[in-house]
Structure 1
Amino acid sequence: MGYSYFLCLFAAMKQGTFRRVILPIFSIGLLWGLHGCQFTESGRSFATGATAAEDTVAINEDTVETKEDTVAKQVRSTTVDSLEYHALVRDLAEHDTTGRWPVAEQPVPLTGAILPYKRIIAFYGNLYSAKMGILGELPPDDMLAKLDGEVAAWNAVDTSTEAIPALHYIAVTAQGSGGRDGKYRSRMPFSQVDSVLRIAKKRDALVFLDIQVGFSTLADELPRLDTFLRMPHVHLGIDPEFSMKDDLPPGKRVGHFTAEDINFAASHLAELVREHDLPPKVLVVHRFTQGMVKDYSRIALRPEVQVVINMDGWGAPALKKNTYQSYIFREPVQFTGFKFFYKNDLIPAPHRMMTVEEVNSFIPKPIYIQYQ
């Protein structure tokens, strides 16, 4: 793909340290005493005690195997049925002839996983701004009624996967000015997150908290939201567009996350899942250019977290489909998402949003759908 195409794509689509997780390595030493040793000219030999030593080794090995078997049984008892899971992810990738999808050797998720059993239909935005998305544009009851309509539309088109509602709230927003700490981001008050939780409760909807770091980092922003992420129905979104790793502020250039950034977020969520006995978390990563996600093949998958790469660009249907194929389909991670823009998708000819039927025909089928 040529550089000129990238410039056209960028113009059409959008305008506008890390905590180390040290994994302890355990080694099991088998110690035993050997008695009655004698030395010969050929070197050291064990004249007596050899049988006892061998017996000790055998007993210890049996003990280790028993512990491993116990752990394996516990893991199996807390994960979903693997045959059903793999069958469903194959269904999402139906008609793929490239071998990219479904992603090979992905872990079977823990019990309570949402994907691929349900399709998430999310309204995106911020309560302080009517311009950042439909979530803050309409009064709550009107917004929920519109969300009901989108959920019903998806359930009508794809009867094999139940669509469920979600609210995707920008909890940390990128800013055009540095602010007091020079980080070019604004943290929403927790009272606003509480408001979103109350609105979501009216539909038993999922809640996603989205982070636009600016010149901050996920290591600084993510732990602040743990109070909410400990809730079983609260999940996470991270936006590489506003992750600025040079001297240009948000909006001047499209930012990026590395695999290390994404792995940090996933590892943090996994810790919360394990520590608080939660169902798996969904991690949504926005993307609409090649450079927004670096080293995608190094993104680590784990049973506690389900990763969605969400096609987050606006434009004409042909451009959006091409972007999905170029950056989502060709660089598989685990699950895929797609965003509709109620206003920006209407700007370029033919001045229409894609239909639910069109998006449901993508390979693989998006399992997370977002409306802004």
Structure 2
Amino acid sequence: MKNILRIAALLAFTASSITSLAQAVQQDSTLKPVSLDSARYDSLVTRLANGDKTGKWPVKKAPYPQAGAILPFYRVVAYYGNMYSKNMGVLGEYEPSVMRAKLLAEVKNWEAADPQTPVKPALHYICVTAQADAGRNGLHNLRMPFSQIDKAIEMAKPINALVFLDIQVGFSTVETELPKLEKYLKMPNVHFGIDPEFSMKEGSVPGKRIGTFDAKDINYVTNYLSSLCKKYNLPPKIFVVHRFTKRMVTNYQDIKLDKNVQFVMDMDGWGPPELKKGTYKYFVSGEPVQFTGFKLFYKNDIKNGPKRMMTPKEVLNLKPAPIYIQYQ
């Protein structure tokens, strides 16, 4: 009788433990899916190449990402900016509910243009802004208070949007600025971006000339993000680098890829369609790393030449097709 009672107690304990574990898995959004569908991944990256004949796309050196990767299973459509300035991008131009409604309208446009690729909305927030004035730290940058980063994350929640934290280092470095954001980057929905335009390695004031990052800077970020994924058991991070000139990213061929980080080279130039296509061809498509992005400017793209932005269909016809889209 005692043995029967022991067995019953053990079964009850085991059932309770399994239930608790199942509940923990449901509640913990940082736990990774069991496996990656590599066949589907291969099919999707081949589709993104759009029949490219140069042999550069899809990139052959790219490792398979860890399970839970967003790209290329989804396209990301992001609103860019800073809440302190209406001139830095659409993210800070409108009241949050209006901004979110506009973003979701763009999401629908992209889903209609490419019904095979679901879209995730995102807020791409500039949390370190370059400054013409040296400031108290002498680094020609202004770090946003954590309260503003908190606000960006809260703004994303009603539409379940991703959040990108973007830095313009000025006279500082990625080694100095990135670790300050770990409390946010350990969140599974928060990703990262850097802007070489405002990395003033030669000592020029931001805005006077275009800055630069080297592959060594980019590899530092990749290694750091990968270490966070391992430390906190996170799905892969998306890492966006903006670019519209050759000098903005040096030694691109030395950029290292990592299964915990999905790298996006984002074409950041503005102007009429033909100019943007040329910039994309020479500085993004022509120097392949992993995935590509494309920025559309509501105002600057229509300043000169044709008074229109490129349409989603036009952007999707590029070789390769961008998987990350940003509106400023």
Using structure 1 for the length normalisation, give the TM-score: 0.79
Question: The residue matched to 1:306 in structure 2 has which SS?
Answer: strand
Question: The residue matched to 2:197 in structure 1 has which SS?
Answer: helix
Question: The residue matched to 1:284 in structure 2 has which SS?
Answer: strand
Give the distance between the partners of 1:335 and 1:348, measured in 2 at CA: 29
| Partner in structure 2 of residue 272 of structure 1 | 228
| Partner in structure 2 of residue 339 of structure 1 | 295
Give the distance between the partners of 1:174 and 1:272, measured in 2 at CA: 26
The one-letter code of the counterpart of 1:357 is K
Task: Say whether residues 1:260 and 2:260 are aligned partners.
Answer: no
| Partner in structure 2 of residue 44 of structure 1 | none
1:6-45 alignment runs, 5 A limit: none
Contact kept, 8 Å, 1:266 with 1:305, in 2: the verdict is yes
Name stretches of at least 5 consecutive residues in structure 1 with no aligned partner.
Answer: 1-76
| Partner in structure 2 of residue 364 of structure 1 | 320
Contact kept, 8 Å, 1:82 with 1:108, in 2: the verdict is yes
1:77-92 alignment runs, 5 A limit: 79-92=35-48
Task: Say whether residues 1:227 and 2:183 are aligned partners.
Answer: yes
| Partner in structure 1 of residue 8 of structure 2 | none
Q: CA deviation at 1:81?
A: 2.3
**Residue 318 of structure 1: which of 257, 266, 274 is its match?**
274
Percent identity, please: 56
Question: The residue matched to 1:363 in structure 2 has which SS?
Answer: coil
| Partner in structure 2 of residue 126 of structure 1 | 82
Using structure 2 for the length normalisation, give the TM-score: 0.89
| Partner in structure 2 of residue 244 of structure 1 | 200
| Partner in structure 1 of residue 119 of structure 2 | 163
Give the distance between the partners of 1:346 and 1:356, measured in 2 at CA: 16
Task: Say whether residues 1:153 and 2:109 are aligned partners.
Answer: yes
Aligned residues: 296
Contact kept, 8 Å, 1:308 with 1:337, in 2: the verdict is yes
Contact kept, 8 Å, 1:79 with 1:109, in 2: the verdict is no
1:201-212 alignment runs, 5 A limit: 201-212=157-168
Question: The residue matched to 1:291 in structure 2 has which SS?
Answer: coil
Contact kept, 8 Å, 2:50 with 2:317, in 1: the verdict is no
1:37-116 alignment runs, 5 A limit: 79-116=35-72
Contact kept, 8 Å, 1:341 with 1:371, in 2: the verdict is yes
| Partner in structure 1 of residue 249 of structure 2 | 293
Give the distance between the partners of 2:84 and 2:199, measured in 1 at CA: 21
Give the distance between the partners of 1:80 and 1:296, measured in 2 at CA: 27
The one-letter code of the counterpart of 1:343 is K
The one-letter code of the counterpart of 2:175 is A
Cα deviation, 1:225-253, whole Å, max 9, x if unaligned, reads 00000000000010000000112111011
